[in-house]
Structure 1
Amino acid sequence: MQNEFERFPFKQEIQKAIQALQFNKPTEIQEKIIPDILNGTSVIGQSHTGSGKTHAYLLPLFNKIDENRQEIQLVITAPTRELAMQIHEEVKKIIQFAGMDNKWKAKLLVGGTDKKKMSEKLSQPPHIIVGTPGRILDLVTDDTISIYKADSFVIDEADLMLDLGFINDVDQLLIRSREDIQLLVFSATIPQRLEHFFRKYLENPLHVKIDNLPSPEKMEHRLIAQKHRDEADIIMDISKAIHPYLAIIFTNGKDLADKLAANLQQKGLETGIIHGGLKPRERKRVLKDIQNLRYQYIVATDLASRGIDIKGVSHVINAQLPKEEEFYIHRTGRTARAGLEGTAISLYGDDDLKLIQKLEQKGLEFTYCDVKNGSWRDAKSWNERGNRTKSSTDLDQQAWKQVKRTKKVKPGYKKKMKKQQEQIKKQLAKKTKPKRKK
């Protein structure tokens, strides 16, 4: 069977690396951007985790490396040291598989390492640097390295760069680069602030957006209506119903992550936690604990959906659904990777219906369910649940208006108020019920 990568005009060394990586058919993003990157075009790429994005830029950029030029030719930036380390591992693999260990040189430049030792190692400039923008900028401003002659510059996870406050460092690096540098930007979403940044540095770039959803035969998407219940209580019930190898529980922000992790730990679920607020040393320790299988559950923010690659995730649980479709795809893309199966379980409320509707319109199939005492139960879908008549909703509102509210709040007051509201609602329903004709 012919390898479909042979259609691209790659050098012999790159084709050799592709064979060793056991790549036979390009993914959609690789198909669309490799020819343009080979031609020197700047690219904006939007695609979800696991779409083959990293090799979509690494393979064509390696093809352009000139080992006889002893200067930095390729700069790759990532928002977190963990992601930079992962990209550097892939870079090392390509160099090894291409049989170019003695000719192509790459260096990882991230914080948490001895700057003086790093400077000594950079006395002979490498062809490729991979790192976090802050550390690369430090070394550039110290005149330890120069990136002025670099041909290509990669910004991976640009929107995460923006969220974590590193886009200004990237800006400072680009000011110190050639005006005609090939710029390759990858981002899950394109916030307005990024659009301004693109206009400053990109002229007629190729913009590719891959909307592919996770493969339905490998992924199961479950939805649980929260119905005013506590998230930690539902997740504890879920934990009795599933047997994860590793489950990531996503929240919308650091404070919510801290609160949920504390609640789950209090309830007896041994849980790790990862978010951008942790100190680098603490994050490194947690990741090591995860690799050593200390935790079965990790509470995380979106940093873990893109900024960190965690292996062996069998389940993704959304304690809160994200606000945008792309983030749902990125989160659920942490599981069902490399041909394995995976399950995504999301808690939802009325505020999430717009997102669910959009995902369903894209072809995503959800199973509506509930969980109690460790057992799954079927549940009505959001539109079936939402099919209550207007009169019923009106009665709800009228009844609540008539509920007597006490100034002193005592234990169980919510139950008493709800009971009172139900009684008033029944009385109102009797009054408004049309009389039968005799």
Structure 2
Amino acid sequence: MKQNKFSIFHFKPYIEQAIHELGFYEPTEIQKKMIPNILRGESAVGQSQTGTGKTHAYLLPILQSVNPELNEVQAVITAPTRELANQIYHEILKITKFYEEQTINARCFIGGTDKKRAIEKLKKQPHIVVGTPGRINDLINEQALFVHTSKILVVDEADLMLDMGFLFDVDQIAGRMPQDLQILVFSATIPEKLKPFLKKYMENPKYEHVQPKHISAENIDHILVPLRSREKIDLLHEMLLAYNPYLAIVFTNTKTMADEVANELIEKGIKVGRLHGDLTPRERTKVMKQIRNLEYQYIVATDLAARGIDIEGVSHVINYELPQDLDFYVHRAGRTARAGHSGITATIYEPSDEDALTRLEKMGIDFENMDLQKGNWLLIPERNKRKNRKKQTDDIQEKARSLVKKPKKVKPGYKKKINQQVEQMKKRERRLQKRKG
């Protein structure tokens, strides 16, 4: 039997048992880099793309450090969305259920839930607090939650926290905690506006950046589908039926468009879930439960679901619209092909998307060009083939001119020589392409 590679961290037996039961065998790169720092009690910033195992990079060492005999808050974990906070909380429960000697008490506090009930639960302080910054801050101000005993503060998805305006609340929470606080910040990106917060609370933190080997996972196929003269909603409907996914997320840029697309798909007889910021907390909780229970094969969502929500089993991502911030293309695509599985990210595009697609290609996205005809997927020529061919010809002609020495007086055979040189170079290029093929 192979030795589990997490054994290098010397976790408590119940954590090692949980790791084995969860099917973890080898730490991810961010876990290899961050876990030793956290176990040493150092503040650290972990930057890596979505789906790289950031959550367990801090959960495992935090659980290692918790002393169940102390009935006080020992770690506070903040997350930008209710769904992400809930997911982190449930990951904690998956590990602590293996601890049979004593109970490790974790609580999740999020907006949109009954605050009085939350205060009732805090008659006994939990060891670990997970939640959204606004609700945690509320409970501190109500003098129901006491975080002055906590040695660790986690700021998860920090860049999204900044975007959503929650950094003020995180700042307030950190201000109530001890001076020798261990702060752990995890983020896909580290924007300039986040740096003052890091500087305020973190003196010489360990900074671990896992460069993506590829801008998106290797096992994702990136497909481009031209709209041409079709109705967009009709093409989307045909694509969903042709793919017959295990679970597909259709991304739109606005809540209004998400509702519009969802309603039109429902009219066409497809059962669709929707996820966006206008849903009430109760509605969002209900949708997430239905998704987990596999009641939906299709979800229409805004970028709320691209970051901050982890939906298991997504086999297909479809961009009904390309995101305005192209980094979100990568976040959207990252919803599929997780945990070693493969996935498909398909984008419906129009001529007006050309500039964005070119920029994505420069970022390292390698697209396949396909079209759906009578329910069948067909490979089609790349959308800018003619433009590329013209550029290649121009390059060859330029090179040929440099090889054929131009006489001081242009003689009649000069053009002929250039044309001959161009033909020879084209033949070489074709032979080279054939060999590559």
TM-score scaled by length of structure 2: 0.81
Q: Please show how residues 87-236 of structure 1 align to structure 2 within 5 Å.
A: 87-100=88-101, 102-210=102-210, 211-213=212-214, 214-216=216-218, 218-227=219-228, 230-236=231-237
Query: What is the percentage of aligned positions where both structures have the same residue?
Result: 50
CA–CA separation in structure 2 for the residues paired with 1:351 and 1:251: 19
Does 1:357 pair with 2:323? no
Q: Please show how residues 2-151 of structure 1 align to structure 2 within 5 Å.
A: 2-100=3-101, 102-151=102-151
Counterpart AA for 1:175: G
Structure 1: tracts of 5 or more residues without a match: 391-438
CA–CA separation in structure 1 for the residues paired with 2:157 and 2:45: 11
CA–CA separation in structure 1 for the residues paired with 2:265 and 2:38: 47
8 A contact 2:217–2:334 mirrored in 1: no
8 A contact 1:240–1:373 mirrored in 2: no
What corresponds to 1:403 in structure 2? none
Does 1:338 pair with 2:342? no
What corresponds to 2:261 in structure 1? 260
Per-residue CA shift, 1:385-413, capped at 9, x if unaligned? Answer: 543869xxxxxxxxxxxxxxxxxxxxxxx
Per-residue CA shift, 1:152-211, capped at 9, x if unaligned? Answer: 111112222223332221121112122331111122233332233223222222233331
Aligned to 1:208, the other structure's residue is in SS state: strand
Aligned to 2:299, the other structure's residue is in SS state: strand
8 A contact 2:48–2:189 mirrored in 1: no
Q: Please show how residues 236-385 of structure 1 align to structure 2 within 5 Å.
A: 236-323=237-324, 326-348=327-349, 349-360=353-364, 364-385=365-386
CA–CA separation in structure 2 for the residues paired with 1:89 and 1:192: 32
| Structure 1 residues 321 and 47: CA distance shift in structure 2, 3 A | farther
Counterpart AA for 2:117: K
Shift of 1:143: 0.7
Counterpart AA for 1:350: E
| Structure 1 residues 114 and 184: CA distance shift in structure 2, 3 A | same
8 A contact 1:16–1:98 mirrored in 2: no
Shift of 1:228: 7.3
Aligned to 2:377, the other structure's residue is in SS state: strand
CA–CA separation in structure 2 for the residues paired with 1:285 and 1:70: 33
Shift of 1:126: 1.4
Shift of 1:135: 1.3
8 A contact 1:325–1:359 mirrored in 2: no
8 A contact 2:92–2:106 mirrored in 1: yes
| Structure 1 residues 367 and 115: CA distance shift in structure 2, 3 A | same
8 A contact 2:326–2:356 mirrored in 1: no
Per-residue CA shift, 1:20-78, capped at 9, x if unaligned? Answer: 33322101111111111111222222223321111111111111112232211100111
Counterpart AA for 2:368: T
Per-residue CA shift, 1:260-299, capped at 9, x if unaligned? Answer: 3344344544332111222112212322333444432211
Counterpart AA for 2:170: V
8 A contact 2:361–2:367 mirrored in 1: no
8 A contact 1:314–1:342 mirrored in 2: yes
Counterpart AA for 1:261: A
